[in-house]
């Protein structure tokens, strides 16, 4: 039995929940969890590439190191593995990552828009505006660089013509952030369709960013 069985189960359950909630279709998207290091070797558990989530078992979740080398598993890890690794390297207190293709977030990403700070929970739990990362092919160094540039110290980012990405200290935090991205994107598009969007007052943004900072601790 794998020494990482419980961690693999966390990844599997998040991936299947992502599918059940309609945040992806088919084999799209990916999920990962940072694992305790083995000496100097940094590790993560990640969903495999091009496999239907409802057919996966715990043993199908792959273990890789931060050089992208397989440690455990016989499937190809997600093609966006290096994006996950890049974020874990940059964000030391980030332990979980979920990449979705949820409909409203993807619509905003196709429109080429950032989502400004419009909701209290958006700022308090995601860190402020949800910025759009410039387009890059999946799995490329350019994608990693573009996402990190747009993400900065927040927990949410949109990927141009692609989808959304959320992170957190725990898998539950990352999943909740993904749901908040989708909710915020839907509200933003509805407000744009009405023709009027009011941003949060500056004093509210400042107060809620302070809450976000306390929740996150050291980035």
Q: Which two tokens stand for residue 170?
A: 């725990």
What is the structure's pLDDT at 219? 44
Catalytic position from the list 6, 7, 80, 142: 80
Integer CA distances (angstroms), 111 to 51, 57, 62, 188, in order: 29, 36, 34, 12
- Contact between 188 and 118 (Cβ < 8 Å): yes
Give me the number of domains the chain comprises.
1
- Is-above-0.85 flag for pTM? yes
Give the long-range contacts of residues 54-58, CB within 8 A, separation 24 or more. Answer: 54/16, 54/19, 56/12, 56/15, 56/16, 57/12, 58/2, 58/5, 58/8, 58/9, 58/12
124-176 pLDDT tens trace: 999 999 999 999 999 999 999 999 999 999 999 999 999 999 999 999 999 99
Closest CA to 156 of 127, 190, 193: 127
DSSP code string of 154-175: SSEEEETTTEEEEEESSHHHHH
- What domain range includes position 88? 5-216
39-56 pLDDT tens trace: 999 999 999 999 999 999
* Residue 179 known to be catalytic: no
Looking at the chain, the whole-number percentage of residues with pLDDT higher than 90 is 97
Average pLDDT value for the chain: 97
Integer Rg of the chain from CA: 17
Tell me the CATH number at 197: 3.40.225.10
């Amino acid at each position: 039995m794998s020494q990482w069985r419980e961690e693999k189960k966390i990844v599997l359950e998040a991936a299947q929940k992502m599918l059940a909630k309609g945040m992806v279709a088919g084999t799209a998207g990916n999920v990962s969890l940072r694992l305790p290091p083995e000496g100097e070797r940094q590790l993560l558990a990640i969903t495999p590439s091009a496999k239907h989530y409802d057919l996966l078992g715990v043993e199908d979740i792959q273990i890789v190191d931060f050089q992208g080398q397989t440690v455990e598993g016989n499937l190809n890890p997600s093609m966006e593995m290096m994006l996950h690794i890049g974020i874990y390297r940059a964000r030391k207190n980030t332990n979980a990552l979920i990449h979705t293709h949820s409909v409203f977030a993807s619509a905003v990403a196709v429109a080429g828009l950032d989502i400004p700070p419009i909701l209290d929970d958006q700022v308090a739990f995601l860190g402020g505006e949800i910025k759009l990362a410039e387009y890059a092919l999946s799995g490329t160094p350019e994608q990693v660089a573009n996402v990190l540039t747009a993400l900065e110290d927040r927990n949410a980012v949109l990927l141009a013509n692609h989808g959304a990405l959320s992170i957190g200290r725990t898998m539950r935090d990352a999943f909740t952030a993904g749901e908040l991205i989708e909710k915020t994107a839907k509200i933003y598009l509805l407000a744009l369709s009405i023709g009027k969007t009011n941003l949060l007052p500056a004093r509210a943004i400042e107060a809620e960013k302070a809450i976000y900072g306390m929740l996150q601790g050291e980035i």
